[in-house]
Structure 1
């Protein structure tokens, strides 16, 4: 049932597409790492018109471990042939920040989305950005 309505009630947060455009314009390679099963994540990204932005998409069941374990982010670093210190994760939850920290990546958080009912201000990150477009302005290739 969920797959049948996946994305029907989903709206993009402000400046998501503009932020992804800006990140790509800087020549940055993008990956999506989610704990959502890949069978739900890919159709949702496609329905929202976002799949085209990501070279890699890892769902929660794509790899042996999922966030907050660092493995998915370390896999992205390996796939992109980048040291973790050159990678910035952008997330909306403590799971994202914990995974990034443990992997040795920088991490920016956004104040919207899913964070287990916890305030994003309580999460250990390198900064809070209002939108992905704001994040794009802070990140350089």
Structure 2
């Protein structure tokens, strides 16, 4: 049985990607041309064809995207595992009014694929907790989410 493929995020997946969750981001390493995978949590689905995320401004992800803008975002939800393939555009290398230096990236969704292996389902979504000051983490998370949701960035 082939895995289900969509050209955009479904309503169910759109809802999931409007909540903080653990995802992995795959890019092509700018020095080795090998796959590079990073775990991120600052991600927000703007609409069914657009996903934004933030990473530290010093992250190799930014350098990788400057050379090759192909990305894959992988996440677990709704009992399965999904891969969102698309093209990444650096909206800002340094988001204004942030206590830390963050780059903002936008993914233009080209394909959403259910990649779960046959005959299985995920019974528990991954969970994580921030290991630094909870109040500071919440404040920073809210600032980053607000920045990602802005319609325009200069």
Q: Structure 2 length as normaliser, TM-score?
A: 0.26
Which has more radius of gyration?
Answer: 2
Question: Which structure's residues are more often strand, by fraction?
Answer: 2
Question: Which structure's residues are more often helix, by fraction?
Answer: 1
